[in-house]
Amino acid sequence: MRKKIVAGNWKMNMNLQDGVALAKELNDTLTAQKPNCGVIICTPFIHLASIAQFLDQSVIGLGAENCADKEKGAYTGEVSAEMVKSTGAQYVIIGHSERRGYYNDTPEVLKEKVLLALKNGLKVIFCIGESLEEREANKQNEVVKAELEGSVFNLSAEEFKNIIVAYEPIWAIGTGKTATADQAEEIHAYIRSVIADKYGKEVADDTTILYGGSCKASNAPELFAKPDIDGGLIGGASLKAADFKGIIDAR
Ligand code: PGA
């Protein structure tokens, strides 16, 4: 059966000291009282090596928020999938709408990033989701399908088992506007059906599909009660241990 997961996406928040302190607090809390779902924290690159030293990764997985689309070499300022892996991290977020929107991560670029992440033994949290304009034009299904086709449906079924999908409607990210549980369930079920068409029912049933976008302790129970919502990718509410724990407890 697929894994239930609550993952944090710190984005560009927390200096090294504050990030280490937050990870320590989470580590202490969750090792003392084991969560009944998988928990992952995805942090800026600079935190990874320090946090990996003390994090009990049997309880909290560690991931990056991005990686380069090139293997190595003269790409000033970039961080490769191999470098991420060498810190002790096990996951990487690829295709977040902020990367697509602000940094021109095209489907082709994302496809390369996914391949390099998998090649280096990282599991990928692959983000998809429509804009408000696309939702208002009722194009959300075709958008998410195209995003999967554009960057991950080139993978074999075996490779695809290392992909966690995160559905994040862009209009709900950081806006306080959450998709209703019914809206989210409808598209999660659709995403699972698209995966089933491509890889078969068994792979689709085993794929973890997270919801992201203004998810917090107050709305998580309703979202997580839906059969195709396997957990959450949490931005703002992952920056305080108590808030994040509230969501973990809802799973
Ligand atoms: P949010 O961000 O929870 O702050 O809306 C979610 C995300 O972008 O991953």
Of ligand 1's atoms, which has the minimum distance to the CA of residue 233? 9
Which pLDDT value is given to residue 41?
A: 98
Q: Annotated catalytic residue: which of 47, 96, 130, 188?
A: 96
DSSP character at residue 178: P
* Calpha distance 149→146 (Å, rounded): 5
Residues with Cβ within 6 A of ligand 1? Answer: 9, 168, 173-174, 212-215, 233-237
DSSP character at residue 234: E
Q: How many CB atoms lie within 10 A of CB 184?
A: 25
- 73: tokens are 């070499």
**CA–centroid distance, residue 43 to ligand 1 (Å):** 13
Buried b (16+ CB within 10 A) or exposed e, 117-128: bbebebbbbbbb
Please list the pLDDT of the chain residue by residue as tens digits (251 residues). 899 999 999 999 999 999 999 999 999 999 999 999 999 999 999 999 999 999 999 999 999 999 999 999 999 999 999 999 999 999 999 999 999 999 999 999 999 999 999 999 999 999 999 999 999 999 999 999 999 999 999 999 999 999 999 999 999 998 888 889 999 999 999 999 999 999 999 999 999 999 999 999 999 999 999 999 999 999 999 999 999 999 999 99
**CA–centroid distance, residue 41 to ligand 1 (Å):** 13
- 220-241, pLDDT tens digit by residue? 999 999 999 999 999 999 999 9
- Among protein residues, the one whose CA lies closest to atom 6 of ligand 1: 235
Model-wide pTM > 0.85: yes
Mapped onto helix, strand or coil, the DSSP state of residue 43 is strand
**Does residue 164 contact residue 210 with C-beta atoms inside 8 Å?**
yes
Query: Could you say which architecture CATH assigns to the domain 5-250?
Result: Alpha-Beta Barrel (3.20)
Which pLDDT value is given to residue 165?
A: 98
Residue type, 186: E
Of ligand 1's atoms, which has the minimum distance to the CA of residue 98? 8
* Calpha distance 57→43 (Å, rounded): 14
Which pLDDT value is given to residue 177?
A: 84
Show me where the domains of the chain are located. Answer: 5-250
96 is catalytic: yes
Q: How many CB atoms lie within 10 A of CB 50?
A: 17
212 in a labelled binding site: no
Q: How many CB atoms lie within 10 A of CB 37?
A: 17
Which pLDDT value is given to residue 218?
A: 96
**CA–centroid distance, residue 167 to ligand 1 (Å):** 11
- Among protein residues, the one whose CA lies closest to atom 9 of ligand 1: 235
Of ligand 1's atoms, which has the minimum distance to the CA of residue 213? 5
213 in a labelled binding site: no
- Among protein residues, the one whose CA lies closest to atom 1 of ligand 1: 235
Q: Annotated catalytic residue: which of 98, 112, 134, 168?
A: 168
